[in-house]
A and B are shown apart, each in its own frame.
Chain A
Amino acid sequence: MEIIVAGLSHKRSPVEVREQVYFPESELGIPLRQLKGRSEIEEAVLLSTCNRVEVYARVRDSQKGVQAVKEFLSHYHEVPLETLEAYMYAFSTREAVRHLFRVASSLDSMVVGESQILGQVKGAYQVAREMGATGLYLNNLFERAFQTAKRVRTETRIGENAVSVSYVAVELARKIFNVLREKKVLLIGAGEMAELAAQHLVQLGVHSVLVSNRSFPRAQELAQRFNGRAVLFDDIEGELVNADIVISSTGAPHYVLRRELFQQVIRKRKNRPMFLIDIAIPRDIEPDVNTLDHIYLYDIDDLQQVVSANIKERQREAKRGEELVDQETTGFLLWMETLEVVPTIVSLRERAEACRQQEIARARAKLGPLTSEEEETLEALTSAIVNKLLHAPIAQLKRHAGSNDAYEYLRIARNLFDLDD
């Protein structure tokens, strides 16, 4: 028994190829049935997202299994096999298990640590299970994949730091203020990104939102959405004293807010810190403002820089995730082996016994009637040969049952003694 995966993902294939083999989620039934119908494939799960199309399967022979999956994709979507083969990857056994665990844990995602993929893997498994396309092996494999994903999420901080500009702004606010409950937000200008950042802040329960805009009706409209208050553009300077977080995004061609102004503001605030986010281009706030104590000014490039730092941090955390995935992979393979060592030994014995009986029958036919003593000798002789020959392989299989290379031993044994027909 082997586990394989074959498919294509954002890593090695462009979207032009992926879209050709995409399966809409609502239409997984027919392809799954076709897959399951192939003689090479015992169990199958079909995962199809906008970033990857993959078939996970339990097969008797990994090469034949992979070939079957490739042919299936090619036939189903009417894409030439050669085109697919140029972009497809295939793994078997340890690598296949590891691959699934990495995918479910979002270690293989375009944005490492994103949380959507786990739901997609769960969905794909659900569909396959309800259709009866999975069995003992894949059921256990996927349950363990979900466990692994959960471990990676809780034991590393892979999904913790934001990787979008508007979330980063919120996170920075929390690095400064810790909790945002009591904080007051002032929006200057009502651009889309300012709105988005304000929305995140409101979700975190900021105290109030003030909106000011050149066009007062637009300010009022936005203020209403956030349950806030619109202020006249000319009143901004007065309102700054009460604002903890300022998001500026006017279309002004020059600096709107200057250093001298903030010098006064921060004094009036008795040094209560301020977080200024300038997402306007050209910028609204004089960059020098950042040199004032208790004021933290970030422009769009700074936020972008945090995004890349966060991505790097996620990658650091991903390394820990890989370790967990390795542990879990080993755990699953051990389970698979315990499942297979005993049946392998049993079928080895059965095969030997069948051979022995066959040869005894043939010998009897040649020798004619035998005395009971001769009968006994014949039995003892053949049994002894069989047992002696089988002793070493069986002992080896048992000895390697719990080790890392057990799977190789089993595969070779089944191969050498031709146990898999």
Chain B
Amino acid sequence: MTGFFLALALAAYFLASLAYILHFSYRRGYLSWTATGLVGLGFASHSVALGLRVAHLTTLPVTGFYDFFSVFAWVVILAYGVAQITLGIQQLGLFVIPISFGALGAGLVLGGDALPQPEVFQSVWLSLHIAMAFLGGAIFVLLFGVGLMYLIQEHQVKGKHFGTWFYRLPSLQVLDDVNRKALVLGFPILTLGLVSGSLWAETARGSLLSWDPARTLPLVVLWGAYGVLFVARLTAGWRGKRAAFFSVLGFFGVLLTYLLHL
């Protein structure tokens, strides 16, 4: 059953991505509705699959490539939905939904079993750590999306290329605002994830610093990098192109560190 719902979700994300691409080129109203509907369908089906998975494992499905990617894709869709309902950014789906599709697809291809982690539900810190880590990651995916959109639009306005992108993408100001909001929200969440992770490590292993450097060091570096961006953005006028560029770069950092941390 889980397999069926996952396949349905995967297909829906794929078709939604396709609909976003077609909508970008042809801008028919029905394509936009179709894409939104498909994302909704995919998300619902994906949620059912995750629910079944939780019932099966009796823990949060967050270890192993398969579960990690599946949950990650799901949280990204969730964050995308919230962003679209509250902010409504044209063409954001074009940049974000394919990432979810790719993540879920990668999870299904890579497979990998979950390690039983019965302590998850007992430890507040671990639950918080996991929730914040995924949420933070998803927000950084959105940051990546709007960052990329900003770079494309900036290139159009600066270089005076007036192609389809110029007309379809939102204004620089909108994209930069969303970038700021996502960073202001995402960085504290990432911090919270890091802190709760350490606290959990302390309760579980007796020491705040009993960390495995290979797993933890990249995470601290990532946190530092976003921290620099966060502070510079708020105080030193790191806005626009530079902020967008680092948001795009940061995404690859997130991907890499999360995988190492797994």
- A178-B171, A271-B237, A293-B240 known; A302 and B160 CB under 8 Å? yes
B interface vs A, CB < 8 Å?
Answer: 27, 29, 153, 157-158, 160, 162, 166-167, 170-174, 236-242
Partner of B166, one of A175, A179, A273, A302: A175
Binds B, one of A47-55, A305-313, A349-357, A370-378: A305-313
- A174-B171, A175-B172 known; A271 and B240 CB under 8 Å? yes
CB pair A178–B242 under 8 Å, yes or no, is no
Cα(A309)–Cα(B158), bound, Å = 15
Cα(A352)–Cα(B141), bound, Å = 78
Cα(A310)–Cα(B160), bound, Å = 13
Q: A172: nearest residue on chain B (CB-CB)?
A: B157
Cα(A359)–Cα(B158), bound, Å = 87
Q: B236: nearest residue on chain A (CB-CB)?
A: A270
* Residues in B whose Cβ lies below 8 Å from that of A309: 162, 166
A146-196 CB contacts (< 8 Å) to partner B: 155, 157, 161, 172, 174-179
A interface vs B, CB < 8 Å?
Answer: 155, 157, 161, 172, 174-179, 269-273, 290, 293-294, 296, 298, 302, 305-306, 309-310, 313
Q: A173: nearest residue on chain B (CB-CB)?
A: B171
Cα(A305)–Cα(B162), bound, Å = 9
Partner of A175, one of B157, B237, B241: B157
CB pair B171–A290 under 8 Å, yes or no, is no
Partner of A176, one of B160, B172, B236, B238: B172
CB pair A176–B157 under 8 Å, yes or no, is yes
Shortest distance in angstroms between B57's beta carbon and chain A's nearest beta carbon?
46
CB pair B174–A293 under 8 Å, yes or no, is no
Cα(A273)–Cα(B157), bound, Å = 12
Cα(A270)–Cα(B241), bound, Å = 13
* Residues in A whose Cβ lies below 8 Å from that of B27: 157
* Residues in B whose Cβ lies below 8 Å from that of A302: 160
Shortest distance in angstroms between B178's beta carbon and chain A's nearest beta carbon?
11
Shortest distance in angstroms between A12's beta carbon and chain B's nearest beta carbon?
31
CB pair B171–A296 under 8 Å, yes or no, is no
Cα(A277)–Cα(B158), bound, Å = 13
Shortest distance in angstroms between B29's beta carbon and chain A's nearest beta carbon?
7
Query: 30 A–B contact pairs at CB < 8 A?
Result: A155-B29, A161-B167, A172-B157, A175-B157, A175-B171, A175-B172, A176-B172, A176-B173, A177-B172, A178-B172, A178-B173, A178-B174, A269-B237, A270-B236, A271-B237, A271-B238, A271-B239, A271-B240, A272-B237, A273-B173, A273-B240, A290-B158, A293-B242, A296-B157, A296-B158, A302-B160, A305-B162, A306-B160, A306-B162, A310-B162
Shortest distance in angstroms between A154's beta carbon and chain B's nearest beta carbon?
10
Best-buried of B27, B153, B167 by chain A (most CB within 10 Å): B167
Cα(A306)–Cα(B29), bound, Å = 26
- A305-B162, A309-B162 known; A293 and B172 CB under 8 Å? no
Best-buried of B157, B160, B239 by chain A (most CB within 10 Å): B160
* Residues in A whose Cβ lies below 8 Å from that of B158: 290, 296
Closest 6 CB pairs of A and B: A270-B237, A309-B162, A178-B173, A271-B237, A178-B171, A175-B171
Shortest distance in angstroms between A302's beta carbon and chain B's nearest beta carbon?
5
Shortest distance in angstroms between B123's beta carbon and chain A's nearest beta carbon?
44
Q: A297: nearest residue on chain B (CB-CB)?
A: B158
* Residues in B whose Cβ lies below 8 Å from that of A175: 153, 157, 166, 171-172
Shortest distance in angstroms between B105's beta carbon and chain A's nearest beta carbon?
33
- A290-B158, A293-B240, A298-B160 known; A273 and B172 CB under 8 Å? yes
* Residues in A whose Cβ lies below 8 Å from that of B241: 293-294
Shortest distance in angstroms between A287's beta carbon and chain B's nearest beta carbon?
12
* Residues in B whose Cβ lies below 8 Å from that of A305: 160, 162
* Residues in B whose Cβ lies below 8 Å from that of A155: 29
Additional pairs, 17, CB under 8 Å, beyond known A176-B173, A178-B173, A178-B174? A155-B29, A157-B27, A175-B166, A176-B157, A177-B171, A177-B172, A177-B173, A179-B173, A271-B237, A271-B238, A272-B239, A273-B173, A293-B242, A294-B239, A305-B160, A309-B166, A313-B162
* Residues in A whose Cβ lies below 8 Å from that of B173: 176-179, 273
Q: A310: nearest residue on chain B (CB-CB)?
A: B162
* Residues in A whose Cβ lies below 8 Å from that of B237: 269-272
- A293-B241, A302-B160 known; A313 and B174 CB under 8 Å? no
CB pair A313–B172 under 8 Å, yes or no, is no
